[in-house]
């Protein structure tokens, strides 16, 4: 933190991300608020990305199930899928 950098490590993938904080050269001017705002924005971006990944996996699964059901001459009902 003294260097104005936050390091985030994803222990599953091993990826590491560094966030440069907006700190002035002459002391403190409320950069804590800026740091927290940047952190919350980063978390929200990650959350949206994970939601999109989940949605895409559901679409892929739905498509795969539809093709499988077509081979059996049966249509898949979306209510059955969402159970």
DSSP letter at 11 equals T
Q: Tell me the whole-structure pTM to 2 decimals.
A: 0.40
pLDDT band at residue 44 under the 50/70/90 scheme: confident
Higher local confidence (pLDDT), 50 or 74: 50
Mean pLDDT of the chain: 76
Residue 22 has pLDDT above 60, yes or no: yes
Average pLDDT (26-40) is 71
Give start and end residues of each alpha helix (H) in the chain. Answer: 31-71, 78-81
pLDDT band at residue 41 under the 50/70/90 scheme: confident
């Amino acid at each position: 933190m003294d260097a104005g950098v936050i390091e985030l490590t994803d222990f599953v993938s091993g990826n590491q991300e560094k966030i440069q904080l907006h700190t002035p050269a002459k002391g403190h001017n409320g950069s804590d608020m800026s740091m927290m705002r940047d952190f919350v924005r980063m978390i929200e971006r990650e959350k949206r990305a994970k939601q999109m990944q989940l949605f895409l996996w559901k679409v892929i699964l739905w498509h795969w199930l539809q093709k499988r059901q077509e081979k059996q001459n049966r249509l898949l009902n979306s209510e059955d899928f969402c159970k």
